Amino acid sequence: MDGTSLRVYFQGCKVLSIKYNENSDFCCLIPLSNQYIKTSEPVLESIIDSGITQDNLQNYLDLVIGLISRRDNKRQEERIRQEIATVNNCSREANDTDYFVVDQEYGVTVDGKTSKFDLVTVKWLSESEQRKNFKKSNIEIVIFELKLGKGAVGGTINATSESADLNSHIRDFSHFQNDSVQLSEFKKDIITMFVQQACLTGFFNFKINGLKHVKTLITDDKAIQLLAENVPVKFGFIIADYKQKSTTLTEQISQFDNDFVFAISSFMGYGLYENCILNREQLIEKLK
């Protein structure tokens, strides 16, 4: 969700985008990307070609959900990403985790090309004192790149990988940070989205402490702007099901000096807890 659009996901796939056109005061329904349609789906393709309307929306969603449910396991990363969002935003445990997933696949322009951040989160510690005043809390925006298995981390020094390596993600983030205009817009966008989401029924677990303080900012543009100006932005990795005996991750880290954060699971769960977030040095020590 952002200021003018709402994205609907199923099993990690963006199945529908609802975009508001301010000029026409009309909502446009944007369908599933063709990249997900690998087999002949004549009825679904007919709906997409003719355009999604209120009349065929339910039929479209039924067909898309069936299609995604039947697909193979190649896009498991998206499902893991969605589980992370669900646990930290909506589950019973969400009141105890320290990160809120504000957006997925957030698009930015880096060196003339479009890049997408897998998970954009707001770190807001679950300690009671922190949750009593959102405006004065030490919040952070943390961008996570999600990888699945050692093969997705990148190649070893003498090998290649189909997936972008860690160094390329670090480099893209560094260039993004150096674009002060885009970075400023990004920070305000994320804080604004978080405030909007807190006001929506069902987006977050309503029992999460402190959300009522976030909601008060919905009419306070100055407070949002001030928060956006001062909030730091960090970058990190989430690597699921990595074989720790492999040297690939260690070799990848050795190729750059930038610091980053690294999320490890809390007893095999998807919750993002502050005490399960490592820095560069801690990760290197853990991999020894």
pLDDT per residue as tens digits for the range 242-287: 888 888 899 889 888 999 999 998 888 999 999 999 999 999 998 8
The low-confidence residues of the chain, meaning pLDDT below 70, are: 1-3, 38-39, 71-75, 155-164
pLDDT at position 19 is 86
pLDDT at position 207 is 92
pLDDT at position 110 is 81
pLDDT at position 162 is 43
pLDDT at position 76 is 79
Q: Where are the domains of the chain?
A: 5-70, 76-287
pLDDT at position 210 is 93
Name the residue among 122, 126, 120 with its Cα closest to residue 98: 126
pLDDT at position 273 is 96
